[in-house]
Amino acid sequence: MKILVLNCGSSSIKYQLFDMTSSEVLAKGIVEKVALKGSFLKHERSDGEKVILEGEILDHQTGIEYVLGVLTSEKYGSLKSLNEIDAVGHRVVHGAEKFNSSVLITNEVIEKMEECIDLAPLHNPPNLKGIYAIKNLLPQVPQAGVFDTAFHQTMPETSYMYALPYSLYTKYGIRRYGFHGTSHRYVSKKACQELGVDYFTQKIITCHLGNGASIAAIDKGKSVDTSMGLTPVEGLIMGTRCGDLDLGVLLYLMDKEELGISTTSALINKHSGMLGISGVSSDMREIEKAAAEGNKRAILSLEMYDYRVKKYIGSYIATLGGLDILIFTGGIGENSDTLRKSVCSNMEFLGIEIDEQKNKGLRGKLEVISKPSSKAKVMVVPTNEELVIAEDTLEIINNLK
Ligand code: AMP
């Protein structure tokens, strides 16, 4: 059983081909600069064979044709023919309240996805382009949609409503949705499997800390709160996004600097966060390097980043009424021992004690990093959103039989 996973962004197409009998990745790659000058495809097969193909990739369909071409090519391919692809699974960013789990893509589902575009105008259209392209190129192949928002659909009203006039919720669906749901779901389940505990009894906090970052409170297998909101700008400090902000700041700046909507959007999404504070970069490795060299703004940005994560963990322990497992994932969560140490410092009174030796130098590996005396287990769990998409797709097509 072979499943192709696609993650179509505005100018990129990430893909992985899975053999689901062994969950092995047969090949993976990325098409970059779709519809821009200098587009190319970077492909890697499981045996390490790599290739970069340059070409004029004017749209997503052409990009996916390149992907299918390289997957079946004699020299770099992993498939004899496209008939070997049993299904395609797509990452879809926003499913609003219409989707609370992964689904088989039908015309009716596509219509509902199109209705979600208003809520994610940058993300959902390219996701849909990938779906239309597969419909054209592989019309017999079933497709599944896996939503970033779906896992958080279990949040109660008290966590997802904004204190705005209720009519804005009913009229426009203005509420908190949360993102990175596929990752929060995967790492929380994986941690329980690893510890041999029942997922549906645990109080878990998952910190997905990558370029985008969010944190979730999971009670007995259900997401009950998460830090991102209507859009992925709320919550933690991110690479270039500000996270939580007094809205009065925006009103003040819009007035003082006569900012319009697109400039304001760029301010909070592209020029803020770690980049805005440090002035160094949005990349954590570069900021940590600058901080180690004594750059004051880089040091401040790291302190603010860790403080915000700590503050959320504290508030989620309060709302969960305790904590069994704390998980770090995402590029930063999986790799930065200094971040984990700083976030978990002085948290013994909340049952969090990390073992410095286990934490130190640990990168990208599943491991328990708490002391045996720690009431809560603290873990690093590398995320694998593509595998979840492939597994959900497999389950959906198995149910068709
Ligand atoms: P992601 O979006 O999950 O790929 O995460 C990207 C972020 O992870 C970037 O800010 C990277 O700098 C950060 N990252 C990757 N490796 C490390 C590392 N060894 N130490 C600190 N941050 C890292």
C-alpha torsion sign, points 343, 345, 349, 354: positive
Whether residue 367 lies inside any domain: the answer is yes
**Same domain, yes or no, for 246 and 303?**
yes
**What's the gap in Å between 46 CA and the centre of ligand 1?**
23
Per-residue pLDDT of the chain (401 residues; tens, 9 = 90+): 999 999 999 999 999 999 999 999 999 999 999 999 999 999 999 999 999 999 999 999 999 999 999 999 999 999 999 999 999 999 999 999 999 999 999 999 999 999 999 888 888 999 999 999 999 999 999 999 999 999 999 999 999 999 999 999 999 999 999 999 999 999 999 999 999 999 999 999 999 999 999 999 999 999 999 999 999 999 999 999 999 999 999 999 999 999 999 999 999 999 999 999 999 999 999 999 999 999 999 999 999 999 999 999 999 999 999 999 999 999 999 999 999 999 999 999 999 999 999 999 999 999 999 999 999 999 999 999 999 999 999 999 999 88
The boundaries of the domain holding residue 322 are: 195-385
Distance 333 CA to ligand 1 centre (A): 8
Structure tokens at 293: 């060299």
CATH number at residue 278: 3.30.420.40
Residues 353-377 as b/e (b if ≥16 CB within 10 A, e otherwise) read bbbeebbeebeeeeebbbeeebebb
**Torsion from C-alpha of 17, 19, 23, 28, nearest 10 degrees:** -20
User: Is there a domain that residue 288 lies in?
Assistant: yes
What atom in ligand 1 is closest to the CA of residue 212? 2
Judge whether 237 lies within some domain: yes
User: Is residue 206 included in any domain, yes or no?
Assistant: yes
Best CA proximity match to 382, nearest among 251, 246, 248, 191: 191
Query: Among residues 86, 148, 198, 283, which one is catalytic?
Result: 148
Count CB neighbours of 89 within 10 A: 29
With a CB cutoff of 8 Å and minimum separation 6, the contacts of 270 are 240
Q: Which of 67, 22, 30, 27 is nearest to 49 (CA)?
A: 27
**Stated pTM of the model:** 0.95
Residue with tokens 């709320």: 234
20's tokens: 């689901």
Which residues surround ligand 1 with Cβ inside 6 Å? 210-211, 239, 283-285, 288, 330-332, 335-336, 363
Give residue 120's pLDDT: 87
Angle between helices 124-137 and 60-71 (to 10 degrees): 50
Coil vs helix vs strand at 225: strand
**Which of 182, 208, 211 should be mutated for ligand 1, with most atoms under 8 A from CB?**
211
Domain presence at residue 79: yes
Catalytic, 392? Answer: no
Q: Which two tokens stand for residue 272?
A: 């803020």
Contact 383, 208 (CB under 8 A): yes
Q: Residue 363 CA: which ligand 1 atom is closest? A: 19
**Does residue 157 fall inside a structural domain?**
no
CB-based contact 353:340 (threshold 8 Å): no
Task: Summarize pLDDT for 103-117 with one digit per residue, the tens.
Answer: 999 999 999 999 999
Between β-strands 103-104 and 143-147, what pairing exists: parallel, antiparallel or unpaired? antiparallel
What ligand 1 atom has the least distance to the C-alpha of 286? Answer: 12
Ligand 1 centroid, distance to 4 Cα (angstroms): 26
Same domain, residue pair 120 and 235: no
Same domain, 253 and 335: yes
Mean pLDDT score across all residues of the chain: 97
Residue 161 within any structural domain of the chain? no
Question: Candidates 180, 209, 278, 284: which one to mutate for ligand 1, based on the most atoms within 8 Å of Cβ?
Answer: 284
Any domain includes 153: no
> Does residue 336 share a domain with residue 274?
yes
Q: Could you tell me the distance, in angstroms and rounded to a whole number, from the CA of residue 248 to the centre of ligand 1? A: 32
Tokens representing 137? 């190129």
Q: Do both 356 and 215 map to the same domain?
A: yes
What residues have CB less than 8 Å from 235, skipping those under 6 apart?
A: 213, 214, 215, 226, 227, 228, 229, 243, 244, 312
